[in-house]
């Protein structure tokens, strides 16, 4: 007779924490969005879903968030790729590798606050420009934070993401023996540019795809940076939802639940894609 194995509670507890509770929250948000649960619930109704078509706020916040996340991660990826592919010697010695770790230990809110101090119209750069006579007044300084295009938010995310991606690309560069592949391709007749375009960049991007997508998801759902460096309108999704949830008017709650449900469902879809990419990357790496 087989000995009965003691039930290990850690795995089920962890699964409950990372899958069970978020799914329960998602279910609660869905029920809240159809008026089944919540402080003023009056039974099933589809009115909040129907109102979605007339209320452009959520769609606009989603588009704005996609723009911010796409631009931030896109710029970070380009910067990191440029550094790893064009400045290998600098990355292997000198102070740069150490300096890349500095932003990683800084909390996002600190980076946002620092950029606010640096780039706002009453900030350091604006004052220096005014003192140097480059601008006529503090108001003449270009709007770099709390601006409509989200330049400040993007800058803060780039500052936090690009050093991390550079370190990741550099680790993949070494692990994939790209230096040797570079030598090999040159004897096959490829120029340095052809090596970067046809071998190095595709290889780095494929291997790093899961982490790049993870950075995109994290930026999409970021709260503290857009709260400090963003405008009341347009808002990023996280700020939009929290603002709705925290309103005194409890009748706004179902719409907030609906927004939360849609965003969480979208992010779950991205996470499923992430798992597929991570699996492919693991197989390719052997």
Q: Which residues bind another protein (CB under 8 A)?
A: 176-177, 180-181, 183-191, 194, 198-199, 202-203, 206, 283-286
Nearest distance in Å: CB 79, another protein:
22
Nearest distance in Å: CB 284, another protein:
5
- Give CA 187 to chain center in angstroms: 40
Nearest distance in Å: CB 204, another protein:
10
Nearest distance in Å: CB 183, another protein:
5
Nearest distance in Å: CB 213, another protein:
17
Cβ closer to another protein: 92 or 191? 191
Cβ closer to another protein: 86 or 177? 177
Cβ closer to another protein: 111 or 277? 277
Cβ closer to another protein: 122 or 186? 186
Q: How far apart are the first and last CA of the chain?
A: 40
Q: Are the beta carbons of 84 and 239 closer than 8 angstroms?
A: no
Cβ closer to another protein: 205 or 218? 205
């Amino acid at each position: 007779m087989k000995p009965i194995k003691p039930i290990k509670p850690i795995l089920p507890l962890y699964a409950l924490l990372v899958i069970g509770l978020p799914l329960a929250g998602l279910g609660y948000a869905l029920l809240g969005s159809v008026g089944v649960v919540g402080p003023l619930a009056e039974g099933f109704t589809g009115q909040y879903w129907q109102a979605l078509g007339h209320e452009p706020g959520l769609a606009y916040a989603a588009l704005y968030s996609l723009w911010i996340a796409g631009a931030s991660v896109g710029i970070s990826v380009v910067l990191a790729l440029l550094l790893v592919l064009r400045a290998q010697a600098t990355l292997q010695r000198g102070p740069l590798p150490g300096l890349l770790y500095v932003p990683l230990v800084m909390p996002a809110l600190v980076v946002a606050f620092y950029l606010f101090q640096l780039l706002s119209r009453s900030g350091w750069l604006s004052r220096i420009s005014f003192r140097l006579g480059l601008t006529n007044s503090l108001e003449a300084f270009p709007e770099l934070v709390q601006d409509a295009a989200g330049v400040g938010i993007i800058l803060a995310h780039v500052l936090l993401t690009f050093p991390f991606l550079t370190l990741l690309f550099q680790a993949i560069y070494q692990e994939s023996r790209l230096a040797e592949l570079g030598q090999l391709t040159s004897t096959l007749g490829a120029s340095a540019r052809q090596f970067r375009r046809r071998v190095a960049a595709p290889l780095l991007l494929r291997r790093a795809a899961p982490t790049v997508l993870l950075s995109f998801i994290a930026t999409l759902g970021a709260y503290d940076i857009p709260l400090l460096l963003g405008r009341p309108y347009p808002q990023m999704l996280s700020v939009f939802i929290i603002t709705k949830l925290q309103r005194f008017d409890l009748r706004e709650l179902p719409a907030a639940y609906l927004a939360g449900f849609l965003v969480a469902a979208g992010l779950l879809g991205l996470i499923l894609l992430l798992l597929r990419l991570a699996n492919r990357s693991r197989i390719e790496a052997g």
